[in-house]
Structure 1
Amino acid sequence: MTKLFATRFALVATMLLLVTPAIAAQQEDEAPPPPKPGKPISAGEVLSGELNAMKIRDVKNAGKRIAMYQITSEPRRLPAPNGLCDLETGPETFQLVTSSDAQASQLKSFVGKEISVKVDEITCASDPGQMSEAVVTKWSLVKK
């Protein structure tokens, strides 16, 4: 019985010695390349992506729930001094700040769809509670 066990153990150990280097080599081949920084975006350029809406509590307005709109896009670098917003590839989520009820109602009909906006003013998110990595404070909707 011990002879049979020793034979099987030796066979398994030999197989592990042969397979382990192949598995390690395969894992090294599958290592993803380091992420590249996104394309730069500056004032006057167009930002495209899917529009999302979230309800958040407004700190200034006694906790009143307000709609916040966000575009999810490919990573983008912001102009200096913001750069990559302390991220490896740049921000992928951009909060659209609405300056009027007209802008908010304009965005409401596009929730869940691809939209494009012309960016006039953009910065990294800095206030606590902001749900996006970057904030677009001045923008206009681009018709396709």
Structure 2
Amino acid sequence: MTKQRFGKRLAFAAIMAVAFAAPSAGAQQAEPVPKAGKLISAGGVLSGELNTMKVRGGKAGKRVSTYQITSEPRRLPPPNGLCNLETGPETFQLIASSDAQTAQLKNLVGKEISVKVDEVACAQDAGQMSEAVVTKWSIVTAH
């Protein structure tokens, strides 16, 4: 009697193992390869939601605001390329070069904005929170 029950249990365990292994094997093959985003170069327009973060920087470690646009993946012009990412950067840090730019950005936090990009590069410093840095820019429209 124990041999018949053992055989039934073994057959049931084998069926269950095949049933659980088959869907996971198919799911691994079904994943599409991510595509790199459109190229953004000097004069191109970058659109997305503007966020702000408080980071320590400057003299005496004061807290300063850092502004960031979250957008669709974009490729950067050579030699930056994809910034060592599969699809290109999605977060772009805006560097404000004047108090007027800082005041302009402060009013647009949380809104969808578009900026004309004049200079962009991959983030390389440890303190940068974004994947790419836009050093020269101007606001095109505010939605």
1:84 corresponds in structure 2 to: 82
Question: Which one-letter code corresponds to 1:12 in the other structure?
Answer: F
CA distance 1:143–1:14, shift in 2 (3 Å): closer
The number of residue pairs the alignment matches comes to: 142
1:15 deviation in Å? 2.4
Q: Which runs of 5+ in 2 are unaligned?
A: none
Which residue number in structure 2 is paired with residue 43 of structure 1? 42
User: TM-score under structure 2 normalisation?
Assistant: 0.87
Whole-angstrom CA distance in 1 between matches of 2:54 and 2:17:
57
Secondary structure at the residue paired with 2:26?
Answer: helix
C-alpha separation in 1, matches of 2:114 and 2:71? 10
Q: Which runs of 4+ in 1 moved over 3 A?
A: none
Q: In structure 1, what is the equivalent of residue 6 of structure 2? A: 6
Deviations 1:57-113, CA, capped at 9 Å, x for gaps: 11x312011000000111111111111111111111100000111111111121111
Q: Does 1:95 align with 2:93?
A: yes
Aligned to 2:122: 124
Once the two structures are TM-superposed, the CA of residue 21 in structure 1 deviates from its matched residue by 6.4
The change in CA–CA distance for 1:57 and 1:18 in structure 2 (over 3 A counts) is closer
- 1:42-67 per-residue CA deviation (whole Å, 9 max, x = no partner) reads 01110001111000111x31201100
Name the Cα RMSD after superposition. 2.1
- Percent identity of equivalent pairs: 64
In the superposition, relative to structure 1, how do residues 66 and 14 fare at CA in structure 2: closer, same or farther (>3 Å)?
Answer: closer
C-alpha separation between the residues in 1 aligned to 2:52 and 2:17? 55
